[in-house]
Amino acid sequence: MDKQSDFAIESSVDFTAVERRLGVSRRTFLKFCTGVAASFGLGTKAAYAMAQAIANPGRPPVIWLHGQECTGPTESLLRSEQPSFEHLILDLISLDYHQTLDAGAGHRVEEIKREAMKKHHGKYLLVIEGAIPLAQNGIFCKIGGQTMMDATKEAAEGAAAIVAFGSCASWGGVQSASPNPTGATGAPQFLQGKTVVTIPGCPPNPANFLGTVLYFVTYGKLPPIDEKGRPKWAYSRLIHENCYRRPHFDAGRFATQFGDDGHRQGWCLYKLGCKGPETYNNCPSLEYNNVGGGVWPIGVGHPCFGCSEQGTGFNKPMFSLAEVKTHTPPNAFPNIADRQNPTSSTVVAAAAVAGVAVGALLGATAAAGKKLDGTQAEAGKPGDKGA
Amino acid sequence: MSHHYEALDRRPVLTPFFLLMVAIAAIGTIFLITRFVAGMGAVANLNGGYPWGVWVIYDIVVGTALACGGYALAVTVYVFNKGRYHPLIRPALLTSLLGYGFAGFGAFVDMGRYWNGYNIFLPWHMNTHAVMLEVGLCVAAYILVLFIEFSPTLLEWLRKQTGWQVRAEAWRKLLDKGLFFFIALGILLPTMHQSSLGSFLIAMGYKVHPLWQTLHLQPLLAVLSAFTMGFAIVIFEGSLVTTGFKRHPETHLFTGLGRIMMGLIAAFLAFRFGYLILMGKVGAMFAFDLGSVMFWIETALFAYPLYVLASPVMRENGKHLLYAAVSMILAGSLYRFDGALITYNPGPGYSYFPALPELIMTVATIATEIALYLFIVKTFPVLPREAHATA
Amino acid sequence: MDRRNFFKTSLGATVASAAALAAGGVQARPNLDPAPEAVGMLYDATLCVGCKACVSKCKEVNGMPPVPMGQDTHADFALDLSAKTRNVIKIHTEGKGAVKDAAADGFAFEKRSCMHCVDPGCVSVCPVSALTRHPMTGIVSYNKDACIGCRTCMTGCPYNVPQYDYDNPFGQIVKCEMCNQKGVERIDKGLMTGCAEACPTGATLFGSRGALLAEAKRRLALKPGETYAYPRGDVRKPDSFHEKAVPGYQKTVWGEKEAGGTNVMHLSAIPYDKLGMPPLGERSYASISEGVQSTLYSYLALPVVALGGLTWLVKRNTSGEKEGGAE
């Protein structure tokens, strides 16, 4: 990275304004942006771009819907720090409608939502939190007399981008588990044909939401996502792949009961039903919500239960064995045909020696043959039996 | 008897060729020491799939077959009473003794736990089903028998040494009384273990290529080819001695041996092809993979002597006899190498080619045998007296 | 004897020996039966997750250090069985190698360790009885004090299991002895094998050969997709079960009949040859080989008769020669 251009970008950011607005120091702010950029796998340039975008926000309007859920995503988001996140989120975006955080209530707020959607049609960011019940025309979840089905459909209509935040919104969450009486459904399944970025997790890691939104703010588009709508930067790897207990798995060291020797020594929790081997998330590298000190399920000695993985969390028994979806690192398994052969580099020389030896035999034969040519057996031909 | 055989004692032992052989043997000795100090892995390319490399397959399986000259001639002379071949027997016994002696030595070098080697002689350890037990005991016994069979030569030499004459004569008389039994044993033992060297391949099962895995026929094919190689090596060795020492050719004797060889090769090929055809392995013959190519090279090497020896004209020509013999030696050797090493396939991923030190040790063994042969024929009365051979 | 007689005799002898061998082939002993209380293991490749717990436990039980990769010692990097490894998990991959136990673009695990053959080739070919099959348990074990290091067992094993330590001047053969060798004796103590105990999924299941074979056949009778509670540990008294959908198994149990059967049996969803299993028929090579050997050498009858005949012939043919004819 070119130092000159770094400086140019850095000088283009009005840090005094940022410091005033967000209540963070320039140093803390840049550190934050660099950290977010790094978790995307992007360089310093992106960090500065991000800083620039945040310092001079277009403040995209945000409509935030709640469906069937426990408000866990919002609650965890509110508790995120570095910098104190409420400042950032409130100043970074224009949060026009959020049922939990709005000071107002009732028809007035609903009115504001409709006005905002009309005014910013095609420009606002729609965040969906919670599942959408489809059974019996969605009567199981209503806000202001409007079902979640209708509210979602209506809001999705003019949204520039849609983010499903949390497992409920991403794939239905706990209420979608069998028998699912309310027909709870995730936003991507409900909004067929629309691109929905999903940030699953129960609760989801706020960092994954924040990073995605910052990307949107910075570049005006959504980050690369997988077939389930999950941003690849956060969800492309199994927990098992980056888990710091993984060496114990590879070496066959397992905790078999809570509190046993292996558990105390921090061995792999696979035998206790850890779903890390089938769950895509970045918990091992980010841990949970900047709490620090190894705080995340596996970090505190509990098997991962696959909260973010459709078909795993709330679907598979807590202590049942996970399906191991990866066998990386690949070099850890020898192929069927790999053998412990001592390979000597001297085989070429050996082949030469063998050639010389056979050559000597044939040479001697030819030489002797030449001398013998014509030595007929006349001498002892007629029955000299028993001579 | 001393008028039958003579030592080439007027010829110098320390010829440049002899010294070359000694030099090769010396290099081999360095690796031999390495093998015992650092383990086999330090000098050999043996591995989990190829536990037997050139040491076992050349030094023992091929080496003892090449040392069948004594056996083949003993059968001809003593069982079929073909006394005229008698002049050939001492050099043949010498090559057999050297070949088997060094096969025994090779077995010891290759033996991973040689300090336990005597267990093979302890009845409570013996596993009578094991081919290896039969081979081990038989080869050990045969080396002893060969030494006894060869001992008249040594006694003849000893008799000429001052102070030993009386004792040598007494021993000779004693030996004469029982020698016929040892000769009989010297015919039985190679029949047993040469067939067993074929039986080895049965237990290897699928690892042996279908063209070589003849199961119940293994012992027969092995002993037939070893027997034939015995005649071939007599012709080969005799021809080289003739030209090397500028002696009178023994072609008239070789012609007779050639005729026997012809029958044996024909029998071998008939049994082999008959079995392969009966077992429906014709497809494998024409697969034109490594196995099939080696099979046809081998068959060509078997067929060439058959072609030469079938012609009464060529059969009486020293050069053609020698070429036929060498072709037979190569055929028999390749038959063993192919089955047990070249087309031997223990499964995917295994490979073997001898390491340089490994191969040099084998070459050094051959060099040692040649050097010892030269030394012995120049010291002891081994070769037939000239006038006798061409009588 | 003239030439004509010579050929007649040789031909006669050859035909006679060939006939003896052919007859021997017919009379050869059948495959051995399983030992009366044969213990074994069932390795279900579809349950294996490649955690290598079995490899690690095996090393621990046998006091063998892991095989490092260069300086890297954090896990066991053994490529195959060797004098340092009695048990190893290997992988078969095809195409992209993405889907477990799928035939196309799939991968599958395979456990390599001694199969403890019912009619073991290694035992049959060992000249000094260093390898033995236990009369009750059928466990094939090794005695290094008897072994002469000839390595015939390695050629006689259809699975290339016995491994000689080439790098040691005083090397020995190393192979799985079902955790029951001197100093370990887990089976005698009523424990199960280390690998079966460590296996988190029950992919390696311990038990009697009969119970394991029954369990294997039970699995083969299930419909793919059905849920089945897979036992873990000892099939006769499992410590726990775990439920899993039944995969599309190959329709045979490897080791039920192959070369006389094995006490360690395998199940797989992909063809066994892809997992490196050798091309074996039902007949054990040991039985064929021993058939030939016993035809030729039973009670040394044939050799003794032959020796008698040869002695007579040689004596007759040398008696006429007064001097020096005998050597």
Residue A5 has pLDDT above 80, yes or no: no
The per-residue pLDDT for B345 is 94
The Cα–Cα gap between B309 and B326 comes to: 13
Say how far apart CA B247 and CA B5 lie, in whole Å: 13
With bands split at pLDDT 50, 70 and 90, how would you rate the model's confidence at A386? very low
The residue-averaged pLDDT of A337-363 equals: 87
Q: What is the pLDDT of residue B390?
A: 43
- Arithmetic mean of pLDDT over chain A: 83
Residues of chain C contacting residue B35, judged by C-beta atoms under 8 Å apart: 169
pLDDT for residue C237 is more than 50: yes
CB contact under 8 A, A336 and C200: no
Over range B248-264, report the average pLDDT.
91
CA–CA distance, C325 with B78 (Å, rounded to integer): 10
User: Residue A346's pLDDT is what?
Assistant: 84
> Could you report the predicted ipTM of this complex, rounded to two decimals?
0.91
Count of alpha carbons within 13 Å of C261, Cβ hemisphere only?
A: 21
Strands C227-232 and C240-245: antiparallel
- Nearest chain A Cα distance for residue B189, angstroms: 26
**DSSP states of A254-321:** B--STTSHHHHTT-B-GGGT--GGG-B--HHHH-STT--TT-STGGGT-----TTSTTTTTTS-TTSP
| pTM score of the predicted model | 0.83
Contact A336 C92 (CB under 8 A): yes
One-letter amino acid at B101 equals G
Tell which residue, B131, B73, B60, has the closest CA to residue B99.
Answer: B60
pLDDT confidence tier of residue C236, bands split at 50, 70 and 90: very high
B204 contacts C285? CB cut-off 8 A: yes
- Give the pLDDT of residue A323: 85
Query: DSSP character for C163?
Result: E
Are the CB atoms for C75 and A332 separated by under 8 Å? yes
Element (H, E) at C241: strand C240-245
CATH code at C39-286 = 3.30.70.20
CA atoms lying within 13 Å on the CB side of residue B341? 22
Query: Quick one: average pLDDT of A51-79?
Result: 82
A342–B239: do the CB atoms touch at under 8 Å? no
Which of A96-105, A311-320, B299-308 bottoms out in mean pLDDT, i.e. has the lowest?
A96-105
DSSP C210-234: HHHHHHHHHHHHSPTT-EEEEEESB
Which 8-state DSSP code applies to residue C203?
S
Q: Which of C49, C53, C80 sits opposite A324 (nearest CB)?
A: C49
The Cβ of residue C108 has, within 10 Å, a number of other Cβ atoms equal to: 26
- Cβ atoms of residues A387 and A380 within 8 Å: yes
- Cβ neighbours of residue C297 under 8 Å, at least 6 residues apart? B128, B134, C303
Phi-psi region of C116 (alpha: psi -120 to 50; beta: other; left: phi over 0): left
Of A241, A270, A318, A340, which to mutate for an interface test with C (greatest number of C Cβ within 10 Å)? A340
Q: How far apart are CA A94 and CA A60, in angstroms?
A: 6
Q: What is the pLDDT of residue C321?
A: 55
Q: Is it true that the peptide bond before C169 is cis, omega within 30 degrees of 0?
A: no
- Contact check, Cβ <8 Å, C89/A333: yes
Give the tens place of pLDDT for each residue, B352-372. Answer: 999 999 999 999 999 999 999
Q: Supply the pLDDT for residue C68.
A: 86
Condensed to tens digits (0 to 9), the pLDDT of residues A120-177 reads 999 899 999 999 999 999 999 998 889 999 999 999 999 999 999 999 999 999 999 9
Query: What backbone torsions phi and psi does residue A146 show, to the nearest 5 degrees?
Result: -100, 130
The total of structural domains in chain B comes to 1
According to DSSP, the residues that pair with C204 across neighbouring strands are C43
Distances (CA, A) of B361 to A287, B277, C53, C170: 62, 40, 43, 20
Beta strands C88-93; C227-232: pairing state: unpaired
Of C15, C17, C9, C30, which is closest to residue C297 (Cα–Cα)?
C17
Q: Does residue A328 or residue B250 have the better pLDDT?
A: B250
Q: What residues contact C111, with CB distance under 8 A and at least 6 apart?
A: C43, C45, C48, C54, C87, C88, C89, C90, C195, C203, C204, C266
Query: Which residue on chain C is closest to B138 by alpha carbon?
Result: C303
What is the C-alpha to C-alpha distance for residues C54 and A253, in angstroms, rounded to an integer?
10
Tell me what pLDDT residue C282 has.
94
* Token pair listed for A118: 């009309």
The residue ranking higher by pLDDT, B327 or C56, is: B327
Residues 285-314 of B with CB under 8 A from A: none
Give the model's pLDDT for residue A28.
Answer: 74
Q: How far is CA A95 from CA A63, A111, A302, in A?
A: 7, 15, 36
Model confidence band, residue C324 (pLDDT cutoffs 50, 70, 90): very low
Could you give the residue ranges of the DSSP H alpha helices within B54-164?
A: 54, 63-66, 69-74, 89-110, 131-159
Question: Partners of B383 in the beta sheet?
Answer: B6
Nearest-CA distance B185 → chain A (Å): 23
Helix (H) or strand (E) holding A164: strand A159-165
Say how far apart CA B33 and CA A158 lie, in whole Å: 87
Q: What is the pLDDT of residue A216?
A: 83
Residue B243 has pLDDT above 60, yes or no: yes
pLDDT over threshold 60, residue B391: no
Of B217, B193, B234, the residue nearest B321 (C-alpha): B234
| pLDDT grade for C218, boundaries at 50, 70 and 90 | very high
Q: pLDDT > 90: what percent of chain C?
A: 64
pLDDT at B210 > cutoff 80: yes
Residue B290 pLDDT: 94
Cα gap A361→A369, rounded to integer Å: 12
| B387: pLDDT strictly greater than 80 | no
Q: For chain A, what's the residue count?
A: 387
Range from B220-224, C5-9, C73-77, C230-234 carrying the lowest mean pLDDT: C5-9
Task: Give, in order, the Cα–Cα distances in Å from B49 to each of A338, B347, B366.
Answer: 12, 8, 27
In this prediction, residue B94 carries a pLDDT of 95
Contact C121 B200 (CB under 8 A): no
How much is the average pLDDT of C165-184? 95
- The CA distance from B103 to B40, in Å, is 17
CATH architecture of A237-334: Irregular (4.10)
Q: What range defines the domain where residue B78 resides?
A: 5-389
The pair of structure tokens assigned to A273 is 């039903």
Residues of A in contact with B46 (CB under 8 A): 342
Burial class (CB in 10 A: 0-12, 13-18, 19+), A164: buried
* Residue C165 predicted with pLDDT over 60: yes
Give Rg (Cα) of chain B: 21
Chain mean pLDDT for chain C: 88
pLDDT in tens, C289-321: 998 888 888 878 888 889 999 998 888 888 765
**Closest partner residue to A336 among B240, B322, B348, by Cβ?**
B348
User: Cα–Cα distance between B364 and B374 in angstroms, integer?
Assistant: 15
Chains A, B: CB contacts under 8 A, how many? 131
Cα angle, residue A177 at apex, residues A172 and A178 outer, rounded to 5°: 140
Count other C-beta atoms under 10 Å from residue C5's C-beta. 11
Question: Which chains reach chain C with 3 or more Cβ–Cβ distances below 8 angstroms?
Answer: A, B
| Mean pLDDT lowest among A85-89, C57-61, C191-195 | A85-89
Q: What is the pLDDT of residue B336?
A: 96
Q: Is B89 on the interface with C (CB under 8 A)?
A: yes
CA-to-CA dists, residue B83 to A386, B178, C2, C3, C318, angstroms: 4, 20, 11, 13, 9
**Model pLDDT for residues C5-35, shown as the tens digit of each residue:** 555 555 556 556 555 555 555 456 899 999 9
Q: Does C17 reach chain B within 8 Å, measured CB to CB?
A: yes
Q: Give residue-wise pLDDT tens across range B123-134.
A: 999 999 999 999
Give the pLDDT confidence score for residue C98 in this predicted structure.
81
pLDDT number for residue B157: 92
**CATH number of the domain at A58-234, please?**
3.40.50.700
Count the neighbouring beta carbons within 10 Å of the beta carbon of residue B20: 13
Which pLDDT score, from 0 to 100, does residue A18 have? 65
- What type of residue is B62? V
Instruction: Tell me which of B70 and C21 has the higher pLDDT.
Output: B70
Pair A167, A173: CB distance under 8 Å: yes
pLDDT tens by residue, C118-141: 999 999 999 999 999 999 999 999
pLDDT-derived band of residue B9, with 50, 70 and 90 as boundaries?
Answer: confident
The residue with greater pLDDT, C270 or A328, is: C270
